[in-house]
């Protein structure tokens, strides 16, 4: 950096446009520890308030994608379609759609993340299956995809390391909820991960980072534009995350729900989102030869005929997971304590502050309190009632699972203070709110 970084913070704070050189130097200097976290935090906050134009966002995304290795997936035959969700509560869609899409004959080379903030992470969920391994080098990754058509691995440490560092900083400086910062974070990883096409699940509502539809639409459009300008056909679905997806929140609880879903017994909201996501991945891989309707039909067929379930078993076995747990989900370790949460009044369960329900799951032990803390895979929440359901005072609305009463006390209080009851049934919400293509 030729000038002082402080002057660049001032420039963004005043709403000016940063140049290509300034952004590229900022990212490389930050990765080289030449910019301290306190200055980068101030810059991130300035971006939160002032935003970034198309050119700035495109340069920032490329600089972050180029901060580490770019994965070469050319050793895998076929069109590789990646999928990324902007995060949610109870979002176990990858566990269900990866085997569905692979069962439809499309290679799924998926790199996923761990839980962050109030959101859960696919890698933590999969690692709750005893033995399941998500760490591997790129050769092992591609060879698993070539052998069985699917592999779900943790992000290699060198995949967009700038995002890894920036995200950790954003998480503790209240700078996650920024459209350009989310767009650069997601798209830098997806571009570095090397797939041919990208499907984005832009979640929207109280359990998502972006709460309103206008914001979600803008985020979706900006990410689709970045994918397209990088030569990757990209589709974004805007999906509802105003309530937890499905009934289970917490790692092995969500794996059990995914197993049920792959046997054809998944909850309606979860399956609607899964079929839309899997359908869009199959559609993208079809290069125009498969209509969207046909792709969705195929996705459903793969669940109905049992091939998606078989593919999930192959996936678990190939990554070292013990099959006996998914074959008999009752074998999963259970939390030593549980508590039934009861409705405070009769009427309807009107709404939940879903991010805070995610926080309650974290209090139970389902998430990390600090970067290095251990997860309790059996902790979490199983909902019995969802917004829109009629309830009677004292009726069970959820069961909480944890290792001790202190966690149950804390989480029960938090759960109830973020759940609203009323006399009027709330309107049913659309699960698939919009689909944004180029």
Fill in the DSSP letter of residue 290: S
Q: Which residue is nearest to ligand URA (CB)?
A: 185
Task: Determine if 182 is a binding residue for ligand URA (CB under 6 A).
Answer: yes
**Catalytic: 70?**
no
What secondary structure letter does DSSP report for 133?
-
Site string for ligand URA, 96-135 (x = CB under 6 A): ----------------------------------------
Active site residue: 83, 125, 170, 222, which one?
Answer: 170
State which residue, 112 or 419, has the beta carbon closest to ligand URA: 112
Nearest CA among 148, 162, 204, 202 for reference residue 69:
162
In eight-state DSSP terms, residue 152 is E
Give the helix ranges, DSSP H, for 1-148.
5-13, 20-31, 37-50, 54-65, 93-103, 122-127, 138-148
SS3 380: strand
Residue closer to ligand URA, measured from CB, 189 or 407: 189
User: Does residue 263 carry a catalytic annotation?
Assistant: no
Residue among 83, 84, 407, 414 flagged as catalytic: 84
Of 26-34, 178-186, 253-261, 326-334: span binding ligand URA (CB under 6 A): 178-186
Smallest separation, CB 167 to ligand URA (Å):
6
Cβ of residue 183: shortest distance to ligand URA, in angstroms? Answer: 8
Give the 3-state secondary structure of residue 398. strand
The least distance separating ligand URA from the CB of residue 363, rounded to whole angstroms, comes to 22
Tokens standing for residue 33: 């520890």
Q: Which is nearer to ligand URA, 219 or 335 (CB)?
A: 219
User: What does the block give as tokens for 166?
Assistant: 């920036």
3-state SS assignment for residue 321: coil
Q: How far is the CB of 330 from ligand URA (least distance, A)?
A: 33
Closest CA to 335 of 247, 245, 243, 249: 249
- With contact defined as beta carbons under 8 Å apart, do 272 and 281 qualify? no
Task: Please choose, out of 144-152, 179-187, 260-268, 387-395, the segment that lies near ligand URA by the rule CB under 6 A.
Answer: 179-187
Phi, psi dihedral angles at 216 (to 5 degrees): -65, -40
Alpha carbon distance 417, 305 (integer Å): 43
Query: Per the residue annotation, which of 41, 185, 188, 195 is the catalytic one?
Result: 185
Closer to ligand URA at the Cβ: 26 or 241?
241
Candidate list 12, 114, 189, 190, residue with the active-site label: 189
User: Of 12 and 189, which has the nearer Cβ to ligand URA?
Assistant: 189
Has 170 been annotated as catalytic?
A: yes
Its sign, for the CA torsion 389, 393, 395, 397, is positive
- Contact (CB, 8 A) for 250 and 333: no
> In a 3-state reduction of DSSP, which class is residue 267?
coil
By C-beta, is 182 or 216 nearer to ligand URA? 182
Question: Could you give the C-alpha distances from 19 to 40, 41, 145, 281, in angstroms and in order?
Answer: 17, 19, 40, 36
Structure-block tokens of residue 93: 């869609």
Please say which residue, 26 or 282, places its beta carbon nearer to ligand URA: 26
Residue closer to ligand URA (CB basis): 221 or 425: 221
DSSP state of 418: T
Q: Is 375 left (phi over 0), alpha (psi -120 to 50) or beta?
A: beta
d(CA 121, CA 128): 11
Give the other-Cβ count within 10 Å of 151's Cβ.
26
Q: List binders of ligand URA among 83-102 (CB under 6 A).
A: 86-87
Counting residues that bind ligand URA (by CB under 6 A) gives: 9
**Shortest distance in whole angstroms from residue 313 CB to ligand URA:** 29
Q: Which of 58, 61, 185, 419 binds ligand URA (CB under 6 A)?
A: 185
Q: Which stretch binds ligand URA (CB under 6 A): 60-68, 174-182, 294-302, 373-381?
A: 174-182
How far apart are the two ends of the chain, measured CA to CA in Å?
36
Please report, as residue ranges, which positions from 365 to 424 form the binding site for ligand URA (by CB under 6 A): none
Segment near ligand URA (CB under 6 A); pick from 36-44, 176-184, 278-286, 337-345: 176-184
Q: Which is nearer to ligand URA, 209 or 247 (CB)?
A: 209
User: Least Å distance between CB 113 and ligand URA?
Assistant: 6
Tokens at residue 392, please? 């009677």
Helix, strand, coil percentages for the chain (3-state, nearest 5): 45, 15, 35
Q: From residue 192 to residue 231, what is the string marking binding to ligand URA with x (rule CB under 6 A)?
A: -----------------x----------------------
Instruction: List interacting residues with ligand URA (CB under 6 A).
Output: 86-87, 167, 176, 181-182, 185-186, 209
* Active-site annotation, residues: 84, 163, 170, 185, 189
């Amino acid at each position: 950096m030729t000038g002082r970084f402080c002057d660049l913070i001032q420039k963004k704070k005043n709403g000016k446009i940063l140049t290509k050189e300034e952004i590229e130097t900022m990212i490389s200097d930050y990765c080289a520890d030449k910019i301290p976290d306190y200055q980068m935090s101030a810059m991130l906050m300035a971006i939160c308030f002032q935003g970034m134009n198309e050119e700035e966002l495109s340069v920032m995304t490329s600089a972050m994608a180029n901060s580490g290795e770019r994965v070469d997936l050319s050793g895998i035959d076929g069109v590789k379609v990646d999928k990324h969700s902007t995060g949610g509560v109870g979002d176990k869609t990858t566990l269900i759609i990866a085997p569905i899409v692979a069962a439809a004959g499309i290679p799924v080379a998926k790199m996923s993340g761990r839980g962050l903030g109030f959101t859960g992470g696919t890698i933590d969920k999969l690692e709750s299956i005893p033995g399941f391994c998500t760490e591997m080098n790129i050769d092992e990754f591609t060879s698993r995809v070539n052998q069985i058509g699917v592999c779900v691995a943790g992000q290699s440490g060198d995949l967009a390391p700038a995002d890894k560092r920036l995200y950790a900083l954003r998480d503790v400086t209240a700078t996650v909820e920024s459209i350009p910062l989310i767009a650069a974070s997601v798209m830098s990883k997806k571009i570095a991960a090397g797939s041919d096409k990208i499907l984005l699940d832009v979640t929207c509502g109280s359990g998502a980072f972006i709460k309103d539809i206008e914001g979600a639409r803008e985020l979706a459009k900006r990410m689709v534009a970045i994918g397209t300008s990088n030569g990757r056909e990209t589709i974004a679905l805007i999906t509802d995350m105003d309530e937890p997806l499905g009934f289970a929140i917490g790692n092995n609880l969500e794996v059990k729900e995914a197993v049920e879903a792959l046997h054809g017994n998944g909850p309606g909201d979860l399956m609607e989102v899964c079929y839309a996501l899997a359908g869009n991945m199959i559609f993208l891989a079809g290069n125009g030869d498969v209509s969207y309707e046909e792709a969705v039909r195929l996705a459903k067929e793969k669940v109905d005929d049992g091939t998606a379930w078989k593919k999930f078993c192959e996936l678990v076995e190939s990554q070292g997971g013990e099959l006996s747990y998914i074959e008999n989900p009752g074998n999963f370790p259970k939390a030593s304590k549980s508590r039934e949460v009861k409705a405070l009044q009769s009427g309807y369960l009107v709404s939940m502050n879903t991010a805070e329900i995610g926080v309650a799951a974290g209090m139970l032990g389902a998430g990390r309190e600090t970067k290095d803390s251990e997860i309790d895979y059996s902790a979490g929440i199983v909902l019995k009632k969802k917004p829109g359901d009629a309830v009677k005072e004292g009726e069970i609305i959820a069961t909480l699972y944890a290792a001790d009463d202190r966690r149950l006390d804390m989480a029960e209080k938090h759960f109830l203070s973020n759940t609203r009851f009323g006399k009027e049934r709330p309107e049913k919400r659309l699960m698939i709110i919009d689909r944004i293509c180029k």
